[in-house]
Amino acid sequence: MYFAKAKTDFLEYLEIEQNRSQKTIANYDHYLTRLIDFAGDIKVEDIDNETVRKWRLWLNRLGTNTNDELDKATLNYHLIALRSFLKFCAKRNINALSAEKIELARSFRKQVTFLNEDELARLFAQPDTTKVNGVRDRAILELLFSTGLRVSELAKLDRDSINLKRREFLVRGKGQKDRPVFVSDSAAKWIERYLEIRQDNSKPLFIRYGGTKSVDLSGNYHRLSVRSIQRLVEKYAKLAGITKHVSPHTMRHSFATDLLMNGADLRSVQAMLGHSNIATTQIYTHVTDPHLRAIHQKFHDKH
């Protein structure tokens, strides 16, 4: 079977049988098409170790607008897509290279940026809560830290998404996986306050105010976009005098770090973040390293 045909079958498999998102499917299509760009529409059985080695070299030298080389994380995305494709071939008894033969490139672990207690307090104090958009922004900041939501997940929330009495709800994250999310007392209070002063009946939980498009009271408010949420977090971080780069994902890092520093186990944090692989969650463990000496002294250094 030729690669282009097998690729189409694989992408349909991801959509129908694996229920993967359209974004994931588009990304896999992009990465695998680059193998066709390099080698042409060769037969699947002709993709051997040497083909993969030369493709990796070609990808490495492909570069970007800002760099002469493709970074290792992006290179690995291509290899992960190929590995998934080869696993699919094995399931369908298509003669192909073993997926285990595809080794990922070594990459540097990303530095985790998080906010400490003082920085969080300064950040939360920035929105002008005498105005409706200030109350909205405070609710957003509190909810990001309380739940560890991805910014895309937060932007999709509707009024009826959250049960404020139970202070919990389900969110559908990456890979169409549902996970429970828990809302702190403080976040619930600010969301309630925001909803009380809303003068519309529109569906989204967080809406934008002002802008060029006119807004009426019939519910035609516009949902706050992911980019708008990113901008407001960055704005308040600067106002708070926080010099490090702060984004909604920094709030997610802060949520995970806070849980671990207060004794939560890694598996629980993995579940609350919605990570499919615990290796992804382990990027946070070095943050708690300063506590290891104290733990050693408390539980072991007694002789």
Catalytic residues: 150, 174, 249, 252, 275, 284
> Which residues does 151 contact at the CB level (< 8 Å), separation at least 6?
144, 226, 229, 230, 247, 248, 249
The tokens for 125 are: 């104090």
Residue 16 Cα to chain centre, angstroms: 23
Q: What is the 3-state secondary structure (H, E, C) of the chain?
A: CEHHHHHHHHHHHHHHCCCCCHHHHHHHHHHHHHHHHHHCCCEHHHCCHHHHHHHHHHHHCCCCCCCCCCCHHHHHHHHHHHHHHHHHHHHCCCCCCCHHHCCCCCCCCCCCCCCCHHHHHHHHCCCCCCCHHHHHHHHHHHHHHHHCCCHHHHHCCEHHHCECCCCEEEEECHHHCEEEEECCHHHHHHHHHHHHHCCCCCCECCECCCCCCCCCCCCCCCECCHHHHHHHHHHHHHHCCCCCCCCHHHHHHHHHHHHHHCCCCHHHHHHHHCCCCHHHHHHHHHHHCHHHHHHHHHHCCCC
Contact 123, 240 (CB under 8 A): yes
* Residue 289 and residue 181 in contact, taking contact as beta carbons nearer than 8 Å: no
Nearest to 31 by CA among 65, 79, 69, 63: 79
